[in-house]
Structure 1
Amino acid sequence: MSLEKPKRSNDGLKNSAAILAVAFAGFSTFLDLYATQPLLPRFTEIFHASKAEVGLTVSAPTAAVALCAPIFGAIGDRFSRTRLMIASLAFLSLTTLLAATSTGLGSLIVWRFLQGAATPGVYVLALAYLAEEIDVSLVGRAMAAFVTGNVIGGWAGRSITGWIAQHTHWPFAFIVLGLLNGIGAFVTWKFLPPSRVRGGGATPLPLGRRIVGLATPALLANFAIGFNVLFSLVAVFSYVGFYLTASPFKLATGSLSTIYAVYLVGAFVTPIAGRFIDRVGSRRVLVGSLGIGALGLMLTLIPFLPAVVAGLAVCCSSAFVCQSASTTRLRSAAPPGLRSLASGAYVTCYYLGGSVGGIAPGLTWKYGGWAGCVALVVIVELMTMGLATYFWSEARTAKLDASA
């Protein structure tokens, strides 16, 4: 009996080390994904290219994430997730450093695509790792810590590249990011405990049967919710710039870039929400967060800048909390042998939602301006609340899965 207490202490240390290491891995990975956004105006001058052409430096890596996520999901249930995550971070570091050698826009886009291809090697596998390696009572907090790392990394990447490009040559930004990616690989190798779980057992199911196993109502609802979450976030932050640069705000480009600082509010709120997810469940937190997010969106309709900024802070915080809730839900929705594959499918749907979210609001903007965009996103959020309310009920999930 005297050995029981040290064991608990040791398990607690492993859980803490795993959560911190995965959060830092998420931070290191998301430094790069949207890092060229503040450089786009300068790229149009340097490469003598159109806005759409330089925009490929952002869309190429996100497209690569959506394409490669299922691949990592398929192999993540068969091989060591820890080793795959370390290898992905090392490859990300290499491609980021090589991006600094780009002599033209075409070569930069290629390196950006390869950066995106490495990203799900961390993102997808980290979701599955946390779901299976972390104590069930801590999964919500672990997912929230990982999402927080992603949020801070995305904000830091934009800030680093913008600041360096303003004071020196833009390739130095990629050198700094590449070195940070390398530090992330080292920290993951040093502190992330090895995967104890590999696949669903000694003989993993064939890939075809595992894909069929994803077609349960609970998992399909989870994928749809992930799609809607990033759709809403990208829709809001892609079109709010048009709203704020027009009358009555008329913000300059430099002032507009500071709007991304509201992401830091989400980084503060998300870990707190993780504790509530562990206590009251994913469904209640997600539905409540969506309701608050919709109210925040409506706040942006007030033609008063502080109200708009406050509404955007609420909106992005809601999205990050919903992301934590939906990724936490994957643990119970996906069987152990399918968790990496389910994570890959989720990430693909998540980033497809982001791609559609950057296009679809253009149609509502044409007829209703910013109010039309807000209406579209609120409708999507209400649909998401309906999905979670219906499909995330424990009794309903058990009944549907039994009949599937």
Structure 2
Amino acid sequence: MTPPTTIKRGTPAFIRANIAFFLAAFATFASLYSVQPLLPIFAEQFGLDAGASSLALSATTATLAIALLLASWVSDRLGRRTLMVWAILLTAGLGLLLPLAPNWASLIAIRTLIGLTLSGLPAVAMVYLAEEMDPDALGFSMGLYIGGTAIGGMAGRLVSGILADSLGWRPALAILGAAIAIAALIVVLLLPKPHNSARNRLSVRDLTRLIGLQFHDKGLPWLFLSAFLLMGSFVTLYNYAGFRLALPPFSMSHTAISAIFVVYLLGSFSSAWAGGLAQRLGRRKVFWAMVLTMAVGVFLTIVPSTPVIIAGLAIATIGYFAAHGIASAWVARRALVGRAQASAIYLFAYYLGSSVLGTLGGYAWVAWGWTGVMLVSGGAIVAAMLVAIRLMALPPLPIAEKPAEPPAGL
């Protein structure tokens, strides 16, 4: 049998793959989070409260969470690259339509469809990297991909927020949509053809069984729960920081508030750094420290001081992206059967946390202000710390952590 061909560090394929995945992550998360700094603008223009305006983001993440489970099944049938190419192109097209939405209902409808098309990329990206990258290259590539999500999320928020302050939200989203479309075309041109992806035409019954198998592992369910809690805490924190900072005594402009998202660059660096650190020291040892770092940042935002709040957001961002990068790679390597389904469940929990806790945080903000936001975001990060401590005691796998596909007819 011919040994599998993996993408090794320093090769042309390694460079092409990393550029493609970095831009894919950029386009995906710029599309997803471009509306986050616009939530106060939507609330004002469409006559909504904070909880209702958050649907511009929550509708997308909720649809994305559900679609991710089916996306993994589709990728097994169509192939990883095919699904990713169509996902990013359709997302770019919908992004160009978004500024043309005539009313709130149509805007939410387009954002819901974006959640559907977006699902094809994050559901497959981590699986593709785990299957195609040489083990020595996986940590770096996974970290760089997560870093791309950080920069994409930052750019989407920063560009839309600053331009909306001077041009209005429609021109802002149009300009951002054009940039995302260009990135999507580059991804299509550079993304290498996979060599190690097995196409399994699973029935719905087989898909259901594969999903169920992931919960038999002693570690994966805890990693899924950590995804829900970390993402829910993080999105809640950022969703309503803008509402808070726009009010006295801060009274910051939309441009100034959007500029805070520059701290996402710290997340880009921390994810790649933590990925390499976890390979050297072990995921268990590094993961809990990154969750603790995020918790420190979350609770610093309680202090009613602009510099301290910004510092808290920066520290939370560093910890969040580092923890998410480690957990993503951990799931991809620990799932010995049904890797695509394991990654899909992780991302399902991830975006479900964004949707559920992000919206809940809006109503907590309306009822109790920043104290309410801390009850949601702070409560979630405390729970995530308990999960991280539980993972410290996780026994190692009885066999080498290498990928395996289920036998035919499972």
- Bin of the TM-score, shorter chain as denominator length: 0.7 to 0.9
The question of whether the paired residues in 2 share the 8 Å contact of 1:33 and 1:154 is answered with: yes
Tell me the residue number matched to 2:406: none
Tell me the residue number matched to 1:71: 70
The question of whether the paired residues in 2 share the 8 Å contact of 1:89 and 1:184 is answered with: no
Larger mean Cα displacement after TM superposition, 169-178 or 195-204: 195-204
The question of whether the paired residues in 2 share the 8 Å contact of 1:73 and 1:345 is answered with: no
Larger mean Cα displacement after TM superposition, 48-57 or 136-145: 48-57
The question of whether the paired residues in 2 share the 8 Å contact of 1:137 and 1:278 is answered with: no
Tell me the residue number matched to 1:350: 350
Q: 1:44: how far off? A: 4.3
Tell me the residue number matched to 1:383: 386
How many matched pairs? 389
Cα separation, 2, equivalents of 1:171 and 1:202 = 42
Tell me the residue number matched to 1:234: 235
Q: 1:175: how far off? A: 2.9
Show CA shifts across 1:173-232 (max 9, x none). Answer: 333333223223322221111121233779899323322322222221221121121122
> Alignment RMSD, CA only?
3.1
SS in 2 for 1:115: helix
Equivalent residue letter for 2:230 = V
Tell me the residue number matched to 2:212: 212
SS in 1 for 2:196: coil
Q: 1:123 to 1:299 in 2, by over 3 A?
A: same
The question of whether the paired residues in 2 share the 8 Å contact of 1:299 and 1:308 is answered with: yes
Cα separation, 1, equivalents of 2:14 and 2:228 = 29
Tell me the residue number matched to 1:401: none
Question: Could you tell me the TM-score, scaled by structure 1's length?
Answer: 0.85
Larger mean Cα displacement after TM superposition, 233-242 or 215-224: 233-242
Show CA shifts across 1:33-64 (max 9, x none). Answer: 12123333443454455555443222221111
Cα separation, 1, equivalents of 2:140 and 2:9 = 19
Q: 1:167 to 1:127 in 2, by over 3 A?
A: same
Equivalent residue letter for 2:108 = I
Q: 1:360: how far off? A: 5.2
Q: 1:282: how far off? A: 2.0
Q: 1:200 to 1:257 in 2, by over 3 A?
A: same
Equivalent residue letter for 2:221 = L
The question of whether the paired residues in 1 share the 8 Å contact of 2:64 and 2:119 is answered with: yes
| Percent of paired sites with the same residue | 29
The question of whether the paired residues in 2 share the 8 Å contact of 1:79 and 1:198 is answered with: no
The question of whether the paired residues in 2 share the 8 Å contact of 1:85 and 1:121 is answered with: yes
Cα separation, 2, equivalents of 1:116 and 1:154 = 15
Q: 1:320: how far off? A: 0.4
Q: 1:368: how far off? A: 9.2
Cα separation, 2, equivalents of 1:192 and 1:67 = 26
Structure 2 residues without counterparts, runs of 5 or longer: 1-5, 401-410
Q: 1:292: how far off? A: 2.4
The question of whether the paired residues in 1 share the 8 Å contact of 2:223 and 2:346 is answered with: yes
Summarize the alignment of residues 268-279 of structure 1 with structure 2, pairs less than 5 Å apart: 268-279=269-280
Question: Could you tell me the TM-score, scaled by structure 2's length?
Answer: 0.84
Tell me the residue number matched to 2:396: 394
Q: 1:32 to 1:17 in 2, by over 3 A?
A: same
Q: 1:121: how far off? A: 0.8
Q: 1:188 to 1:378 in 2, by over 3 A?
A: closer
Structure 1 residues without counterparts, runs of 5 or longer: 1-6, 399-404
The question of whether the paired residues in 2 share the 8 Å contact of 1:235 and 1:377 is answered with: no
The question of whether the paired residues in 1 share the 8 Å contact of 2:67 and 2:116 is answered with: yes
